[in-house]
Amino acid sequence: MLPGVPDAFQRLWTPHRLAYIQGGQDQFHKDECPFCVAPSRTDEESLIVYRGETAYVVLNLYPYNPGHLLVCPYRHIPDYTDLTVAETAEFAALAQQAMRVLRKVSHASGFNLGMNQGVTGGAGISAHLHQHVVPRWGGDGNFLPIIAQTKAITQTLGDVRRQVAQAWTEAAVEDTEVDHAQ
């Protein structure tokens, strides 16, 4: 059969899985907190899109949708009530900026924002606070995740990280230009 000639197979192309095959899943040791280790690595290695003063923004290694971001404080704290006033302000501002950037990059028409607190609250990494910012589009909840428990992600994590980080930098420059104009 020649390339591009239709056949009887339905294919689900998932280039993001290559990151897992090449060691993405095992990049942290079991006794390490991935949210504490991530800032010590390069942005590309850790999938960080922005570093703030008290918190940073990173792509989720296991995204629900392309562009699924996590806002994490640098401090290893488990609960939202453990944030200082300054950390809370930056944490909230980063979630807002994440939404703005994802609207620009991916034209998201909605978002799921959430924090699962504690093991019983559903947190996968309960010892280190993090907020999910999940972009949504009409029709993104099709039959694959519902019936087949499979999610098709159309871009690699590295490609998404580059796009989001670039848009974040451009947005910061635009904000600076507006501030100077006022």
15 vs 73, more confident = 73
Model pLDDT for residues 73-130, shown as the tens digit of each residue: 999 999 999 999 999 999 999 999 999 999 999 999 999 999 998 888 888 888 999 9
Q: Is the pLDDT of residue 131 over 70?
A: yes
Domains and CATH numbers, the chain: 28-136+146-173 (3.30.428.10)
Average pLDDT, the chain: 82
Tokens of 139: 């029709």
Q: How far apart, in whole angstroms, are the C-alpha atoms of residue 72 and residue 101?
A: 17
**Residue from 97, 100, 109, 32 nearest 65 by CA:** 109
Q: Which helix (H) or strand (E) holds 109?
A: none
For the annotated catalytic residues, the residue numbers are: 130
Q: Would you tell me how many other CB atoms lie within 10 Å of the CB of residue 156?
A: 16
Q: Is the pLDDT of residue 180 over 60?
A: no
Contact by Cβ (8 Å): 47, 62:
no
Residue 10, CA distances (Å) to 6, 18, 115 in order: 10, 20, 36
pLDDT above 90 coverage of the chain, percent: 52
